[in-house]
């Protein structure tokens, strides 16, 4: 697992198959972001068979097949889309291309699982919504900062058990290390990556909706800036926003590309969840100056103060639930509306953001 560079951070968990070999086949298309490896790891650990891969860059395909030799290199994405045995396509294309690819995948009768951010424009979201309605296929999103983080999964379990009462406020911090030399050109092109609130902000908004149970929200304010990377004029290295859910819960989040070199991981991601009967703090990837292992959960409620170290203890149930949802046409992993609403709100936050210097 690469801890210094978030772009290549690919968690690995314990195998927990929900299907037998040969029951659920998937393929990968679009290897532009390293998250594709985490997506594939999660699906394979849940029992899915990775059978094919396509990307126009032979070097990316070669590296992928070296990691996953069972994946056959396809001559085109059409070869994968025409294969009736493939049920799901996982993709981490350039962000601005994810929506159109998803429409093609669903038109081919397959479910789609894309890296975040799923869209860079509201028009792409509307096209995907229309195609979902037309085909009945799924357009699922790898919101990895909740789905592939054991402390975040555990926090959801605590909330469901009533550990902190009704959730009324969430604060999220999503700092990332820039590692500019390792980034592809599209990463610095605003039209292609969508803006910082649209991109890494999508993780934060999805968590707010999930932990509070809100079905919708309004964006109160949002800001973007390029404080420290003027050599990349289209990059935004800072963004923040406030939201209010339709159930009255409130939210503040901050994302940035300002992680200092001295931190022992790619970003000190944290979440603070405030309820009527207590609060939870997540230190996802590191507990600075104390423990370089992540997945620390701090709980305070009427019963006292507790610390849980949950690395390797909780697992990643989303992937198995997604496979079963695709097979049985259920919505236990994540509802389609939830996936789309998080995307819609990050697009709106980005669209109305005030630029500061």
Q: State the CB neighbour count (10 A cutoff) for residue 180.
A: 13
Dump pLDDT digits (tens) for 61-100: 999 999 999 999 999 999 999 999 999 999 999 999 999 9
Give the CATH number, domain containing residue 182: 3.30.360.10
Residue 55, in any domain of the structure: no
Whether 272 and 281 have beta carbons less than 8 Å apart is answered as: yes
Q: Environment class of residue 151 by beta-carbon count within 10 Å: exposed (0-12), middle (13-18) or buried (19+)?
A: buried
Residue 226, in any domain of the structure: yes
Domain, as residue range, for 239: 146-316+347-355
Residue 143 clears pLDDT 90, i.e. is over it:
yes
Residue 35, in any domain of the structure: no
Residue 248, in any domain of the structure: yes
Residue 73, in any domain of the structure: no
Domain count for the chain:
1
Dump pLDDT digits (tens) for 245-260: 999 999 999 999 999 9
Residue 91, in any domain of the structure: no
pTM for the predicted model, two decimal places: 0.97
Which of 218, 274, 221, 271 lies closest to 247 in space, CA to CA? 218
Residue 50, in any domain of the structure: no
């Amino acid at each position: 697992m690469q801890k210094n560079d978030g772009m290549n951070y690919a968690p690995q968990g314990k195998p927990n198959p929900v299907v037998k070999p040969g029951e659920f086949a998937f393929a990968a298309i679009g290897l532009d972001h390293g998250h594709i490896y985490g997506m594939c790891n999660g699906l394979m650990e849940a029992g899915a068979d990775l059978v094919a891969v396509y990307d126009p860059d032979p070097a990316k395909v070669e590296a992928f097949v070296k990691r996953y030799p069972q994946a056959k290199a396809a001559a085109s994405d059409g070869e994968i889309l025409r294969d009736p045995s493939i049920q799901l396509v996982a993709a981490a294309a350039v962000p601005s291309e994810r929506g159109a690819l998803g429409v093609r995948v669903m038109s081919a009768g397959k479910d789609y699982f894309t890296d975040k951010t799923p869209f860079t424009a509201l028009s792409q979201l509307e096209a995907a919504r229309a195609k979902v309605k037309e085909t009945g296929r799924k357009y699922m999103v790898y919101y990895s900062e909740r789905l592939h983080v054991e402390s975040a999964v555990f926090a959801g379990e605590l909330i469901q058990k009533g550990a902190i009462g009704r959730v009324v406020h969430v604060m999220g911090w999503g700092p990332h290390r820039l590692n500019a030399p390792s980034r592809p050109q599209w990463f610095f092109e605003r039209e292609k990556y969508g803006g910082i609130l649209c991109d890494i902000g999508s993780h934060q908004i999805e968590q707010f909706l999930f932990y509070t149970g809100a079905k919708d929200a309004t964006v109160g304010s949002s800001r973007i800036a390029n404080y420290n990377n003027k050599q990349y004029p289209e990059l935004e290295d800072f963004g923040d926003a406030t939201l209010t859910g339709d159930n009255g819960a409130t939210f503040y989040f901050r994302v940035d590309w300002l992680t200092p070199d001295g931190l022992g991981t790619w970003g000190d991601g944290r979440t603070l969840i405030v309820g009527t009967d207590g609060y939870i703090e997540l230190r996802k990837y590191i507990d600075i100056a104390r423990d370089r292992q992540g997945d620390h959960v701090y709980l305070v409620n009427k019963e006292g103060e507790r610390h849980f170290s949950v690395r390797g203890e909780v697992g990643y149930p989303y992937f198995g639930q997604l496979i079963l949802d695709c097979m049985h046409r259920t919505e236990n992993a994540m509802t389609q509306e939830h996936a789309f609403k998080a995307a819609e709100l990050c697009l709106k936050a980005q669209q109305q953001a005030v630029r500061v210097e």
